[in-house]
Amino acid sequence: MRIYAHRGCSGTYPENTLAALKAAAELPVTGVEFDVHLTKDGEAVVIHDEKVDRTTDGTGYVKDMTLSEIRKLDAGSWFSEKFAGEQIPTLDEVFDIFQDTDHRLNIELKTDIFPYEGLVDKVLAKAEKRGLSDRILISSFNHEDVQAVSHKKTVEAAILTLDVYVDVYDYARVVGTNRIHMSLPAAFRRMATDALRKGAIVYVYTVNELDYVRQLQQIGIHGIFTDFPERMLAELKSGSDQ
Ligand code: G3P
Ligand code: MG
């Protein structure tokens, strides 16, 4: 069972900050997942929501702010005063952390609400320039972007799904991938076992309870996204290299 640190070590550090991502880089997990948006002046930045309100001391949409405006925000205090001064990182800063590790980087393109024109190409170009392409796994709820990435064949790509589908594997194949990142409730539906039987590589988000991990292992799920990778590592052995 592959373990990915969800938004970095987001159970113990403020999500998607350098602190959370550096903590993940220190762990012998398979990889790390983080979310990417585009600023008004075209910088790829790492944050989960379209708005900065929940995870910083600011307000407003990322798409309406320049990088220099974004950099003035405190992205740590909402989690704990201990992390006051953490900033919203750029994609380049996150790549710096993992440049010399062997972690896989699951970059979730948050293009399902605002399409962020040019973000796909920007992310792929940065990864290629740094020689990271073979460690990148792109995912998105925007399946048009997943299809575009899949067709380029330079990095792995996965569809993200929230709902329960009939024949999700067949759908993923139409998009151009056999990788499916599904929600925890969906993983206990026929959707997961059907997809696995047909040859899908299935990862599940967000899994923070060991009981669920054990059930997912029995189903044959290949990987999980967890906010507590430290805790999961202690309990699980790595599985096949998928
Ligand atoms: O990529 C898995 C998971 O991160 C998808 O949902 O909302 O946590 O980005 P969310
Ligand atoms: Mg995500």
Q: How far is the CA of 6 from the centre of ligand 2 (A)?
A: 7
- Give the ligand 1 atom nearest the CA of 33: 1
Is the CB of 139 within 6 Å of ligand 1? yes
User: What is the CA angle 201-207-209, rounded to 5?
Assistant: 135
- 6 noted as active-site residue: yes
Q: How do beta strands 223-226 and 2-6 pair?
A: parallel
Residue 235 pLDDT:
80
d(CA 145, CA 178): 15
Residues of the chain with pLDDT under 50: 239-242
Residue 10 pLDDT:
98
CA-nearest of 112, 143, 139 to 123 is 139
Residue type, 151: H
Alpha helices in 76-203 (DSSP H): 91-98, 119-129, 143-152, 168-175, 184-187, 190-198
* Catalytic residue from among 6, 37, 143, 222: 6
- Pair 222, 203: CB distance under 8 Å: yes
Q: How far is the CA of 205 from the centre of ligand 1 (A)?
A: 7
Q: What is the pTM of this model?
A: 0.96
Is the CB of 35 within 6 Å of ligand 1? yes
CA distances from 135 to 109, 126, 127, 131, 182 (A): 16, 13, 9, 9, 21
CA distances from 20 to 15, 88, 191, 200 (A): 6, 11, 32, 30
Ligand 1 atom 7: the closest Cα is on which residue? Answer: 48
Is the CB of 4 within 6 Å of ligand 1? no
Torsion sign over Cα 134, 176, 35, 236: negative
Ligand 1 atom 3: the closest Cα is on which residue? Answer: 205
Residue 239 pLDDT:
47
Is the CB of 205 within 6 Å of ligand 1? yes
d(CA 222, CA 241): 9
- Map residue 35 onto helix, strand or coil: strand
Q: Which two tokens stand for residue 225?
A: 């996204």
Ligand 1 atom 2: the closest Cα is on which residue? Answer: 205
Q: In the chain, what are the domains? A: 2-241 (3.20.20.190)
Phi-psi category of residue 8: left, alpha or beta, with phi > 0 → left and psi -120 to 50 → alpha: left
- 181 noted as active-site residue: no
Phi, psi of 126 (to 5 degrees): -65, -45
Q: How far is the CA of 14 from the centre of ligand 2 (A)?
A: 14
CB-neighbour burial class of residue 140 (10 A; exposed 0-12, middle 13-18, buried 19+): buried
Q: How far is the CA of 218 from the centre of ligand 2 (A)?
A: 25
Residue 237 pLDDT:
64
Ligand 1 pocket test target in 4, 113, 205 with most atoms within 8 Å of CB:
205
User: What is the CA angle 227-231-237, rounded to 5?
Assistant: 110
